[in-house]
A and B are shown apart, each in its own frame.
Chain A
Amino acid sequence: MALAETAVDRATFVEWLQRVGDNVLILGHRVSEWCGHSPVLEEDIALANQALDLIGQCQLWLGLAGEIEGKGRSADAIAYLRDAAAFRNVLLVERPNGDFGHTLMRQFLFDAWHIELLRALKGSSDSRVAGIAAKAEKEVAYHLERSADLVIRLGDGTEESRQRMEKALKSLWQYTGEMFMDDALDIAMAGAGIAPLPSSLKPAWDATVSEVLAEATLTHPGEAYQHKGGRKGVHSEHLGYILAEMQFLQRAYPGAIW
Chain B
Amino acid sequence: MYAQLVKSEGTKSREEMSPEEIAFQERIDRGEKIEPKEWMPEGYRKTLIRQIGQHAHSEIVGQLPEGNWITRAPTLERKAILLAKVQDEAGHGLYLYSAAETLGVSRDDLLDKLHSGNMKYSSIFNYPTLNWADIGAVGWLVDGAAIMNQVPLQRTSYGPYSRAMIRICKEESFHQRQGYDIMMKMAAGTPEQKAMAQDAMNRFWYPALMMFGPSDKDSVHSAQSMQWKIKINTNDELRQKFVDQTVPQAHYLGLTIPDENLKWNEETGAWDFSEPDWSEFFAVIAGNGPCNEERLGARVKAWEDGEWFRDGLMAHAKKADARRAAAKHAAE
Contact = CB atoms under 8 A, between A and B. Distances in A.
Interface stretch (B87-95, B224-232, B254-262, B277-285): B87-95
A161 B132 contact: no
A154 interface: yes
A153 interface: yes
Given A256-B189, A256-B193, A158 B308 contact: yes
A14 interface: no
Contact of B83 (A38, A55, A58, A248): A55
A210 interface: no
A29 B298 CA distance: 19
Nearest to A51: B83
Interface stretch (B42-50, B158-166, B312-320): B312-320
Contact of B80 (A59, A164, A242): A59
A45 B91 contact: yes
Interface string A121-156: 000000000000000000000000000000011101
Most buried by A among B75, B76, B193, B308: B76
Given A36-B64, A48-B90, A100 B306 contact: yes
Interface in A18-66: 25, 29, 32-33, 35-45, 48-49, 51-52, 55-56, 58-59, 62
Interface string B67-96: 100111111111110011011001101100
B305 A76 contact: no
Contact of A40 (B75, B189, B310): B310
Chain B interface extent, by class: 35 or more
Contacts of B298: 36-37
A156 to B, nearest CB: 6
A249 B312 contact: no
Given A79-B76, A158-B308, A160-B311, A36 B192 contact: no
Interface in A147-198: 152-154, 156-158, 160-162, 164
A249 B67 contact: no
B218 to A, nearest CB: 33
Contacts of A39: 302-303, 305-307, 309-310
A32 B310 contact: no
Contacts of A43: 306, 309
A76 B312 contact: no
A162 B60 CA distance: 29
B126 interface: no
Determine chain B's interface SS by DSSP, over half rule.
Answer: helix
Contacts of B192: 253, 256
A156 B316 contact: yes
A84 interface: no
Contacts of A37: 67, 298, 301-302
B67 A157 contact: no
Contact of A157 (B73, B107, B193, B315): B315
A101 B310 CA distance: 11
A51 B93 CA distance: 19
Chain A interface extent, by class: 35 or more
A161 B314 CA distance: 11
Nearest to A152: B316
A245 B71 contact: yes
Contacts of B317: 153
Nearest to B87: A48
Contact of B76 (A48, A59, A158): A59
Most buried by A among B64, B71, B94, B309: B309
A99 B78 contact: no
A52 B132 contact: no
A256 B197 CA distance: 14
Contacts of B308: 101, 158, 160-161, 164
Most buried by A among B67, B307, B310, B312: B312
B242 interface: no
A62 B186 CA distance: 26
B311 A248 contact: no
A105 interface: no
Contacts of A40: 306, 309-310
Given A35-B70, A59-B76, A161-B311, 7 more contacts: A38-B306, A62-B76, A157-B312, A161-B312, A249-B74, A253-B190, A258-B74
Interface of B: 60, 63-64, 67, 70-80, 83-84, 86-87, 90-91, 93-94, 97, 107, 132, 182, 185-186, 189-190, 192-193, 298, 301-303, 305-317, 319
12 contacts: A36-B67, A36-B298, A38-B306, A39-B302, A39-B306, A41-B107, A44-B63, A45-B91, A51-B83, A55-B76, A160-B311, A256-B192
